[in-house]
Amino acid sequence: MNPFIAGFVMFLGLGLGLGAATASAAVPNPTVIGPIPENAPPGDLSRDHTFFASEIVDDFGYVEEEFFIEGTANAYLTPPLTTGTIVSSGHPYVSRIVVRRPAKAQRFNGTVILEWLNVTTGMDVDSWLAGNAEHYMREGYAWIGVSAQRDGIHAPFTGLRDWNPARYGTLDVTNGGTLPDDELGYDIFSQAGQAVMSPVGVEPLGGLQAERIIARGASQSAFRLGIYYNSIQPLANLFDGFVLIIGPNSTVRMDLGVPVFQLHTETEAISIALGEFPPVQPDSDTHRTWQVAGSAHVDAAFSDNFIAHFERDFQLPWPLIVCDLPNAGFNDVRFHHVVNAAQEHLVRWVKDGTPPPIAPLIETVGPVVARDELGLALGGIRIADLEVPTAYNVGFNSGAHPFCPLLGPHVPFVEEMLDELYPTHGSYVKQVSAVVQDNLAAGYITKRDGRETLTEAARSDFGK
pLDDT tens-digit series, residues 434-449: 999 999 999 999 999 9
Instruction: Count the neighbouring beta carbons within 10 Å of the beta carbon of residue 142.
Output: 25
Distances (CA, A) of 237 to 131, 194, 215, 232, 425: 30, 11, 12, 8, 54
Note the pLDDT tens digit of each residue in 380-392: 999 999 999 999 9
Identity of the amino acid at 424: T
pLDDT value, residue 18:
34
pLDDT of residue 329: 74
The pLDDT, as a whole number, for residue 328 is: 63
φ and ψ at residue 260, rounded to 5 degrees: -130, 130
Average pLDDT, the chain: 93
Parallel, antiparallel or unpaired: strands 368-369 and 391-393 = unpaired
Q: Taking residues 351-372, what's their average pLDDT?
A: 96
> Residue 23: which pLDDT band, with cuts at 50, 70 and 90?
low
Residue 434, pLDDT score: 98
Q: Please give the average per-residue pLDDT across 196-206, as a whole number.
A: 96
Give 95-115 pLDDT, tens digit per residue.
999 999 999 999 999 999 999
pLDDT tens track for 215-227: 999 999 999 999 9
- DSSP character string of 357-371: PP-PPBPEETTEE-B
Contact between 258 and 233 under an 8 Å Cβ cutoff? The reply is: yes
Going by pLDDT thresholds of 50, 70 and 90, the confidence category of residue 12 is: very low
* pLDDT tens string 146-195: 999 999 999 999 999 999 999 999 999 999 999 999 999 999 999 999 99
**Alpha-carbon distances, residue 282 vs 175, 273, 285, 295, 360 (angstroms):** 40, 15, 10, 22, 11
pLDDT in tens, 283-323: 999 999 999 999 999 999 999 999 999 999 999 999 888 88
Predicted pLDDT at 321: 86
Q: Please, which pLDDT band fits residue 325 given cuts at 50, 70 and 90?
A: confident
Beta bridge partners of 63: 101
Question: What is the model's pTM?
Answer: 0.93
Which one of 1.10.10, 1.20.1050, 3.40.50, 2.60.40 gives the CATH number of domain 3-413?
A: 3.40.50
- The structural domains of the chain, with segments of one domain joined by +, span 3-413
- Could you tell me the pLDDT band of residue 16, with boundaries at 50, 70 and 90? very low
